[in-house]
């Protein structure tokens, strides 16, 4: 009888133990809820097998040689760097001015 009353008056038992139980139970509960979230994401990501096969074919069809040929055809000598406008500048006017100044240099 004496030990039960002393335990009821003890602040650690009165406040600490419920707090620890809440933290431990909360972590297990959160784990379950987050697992549901990841399970739903897995289900949404699954593709139809025929669609997945078509997507894989598109990825494999790009050849390095083909990309190299495309880059060889691009004329990089006539490329111009036109800076975009600052937030306080009018974009159309500034870009037209930049183009005119580059045309004059050529």
Res. 59 pLDDT band, cuts 50 70 90 = low
Rounded to whole angstroms, the Cα distance separating 56 from 62 reads 11
- Per-residue pLDDT, averaged over 52-59, amounts to 64
Q: What pLDDT sits at residue 23?
A: 95
Per the model's pLDDT, the better-predicted residue between 67 and 25 turns out to be 25
pTM of the model: 0.35
Are 65 and 72 contacting, i.e. CB atoms less than 8 angstroms apart? no
pLDDT for 21 beyond 90: yes
Q: What is the mean pLDDT of residues 51-59?
A: 65
Give residue limits of the domains in the chain: 2-76
């Amino acid at each position: 009888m004496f030990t039960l009353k002393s335990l009821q008056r003890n602040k650690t038992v009165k406040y600490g133990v419920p707090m620890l139980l809440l933290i431990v139970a909360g972590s297990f509960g959160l784990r379950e809820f987050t697992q549901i979230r990841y399970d739903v994401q897995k289900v949404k990501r699954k593709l139809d097998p025929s669609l997945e096969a078509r997507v894989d074919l598109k990825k494999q069809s790009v050849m390095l040689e083909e990309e190299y040929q495309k880059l060889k055809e691009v004329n990089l000598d006539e490329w111009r760097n036109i800076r975009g406008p600052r937030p306080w500048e009018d974009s159309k006017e500034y870009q037209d001015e930049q183009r005119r100044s580059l045309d004059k240099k050529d």
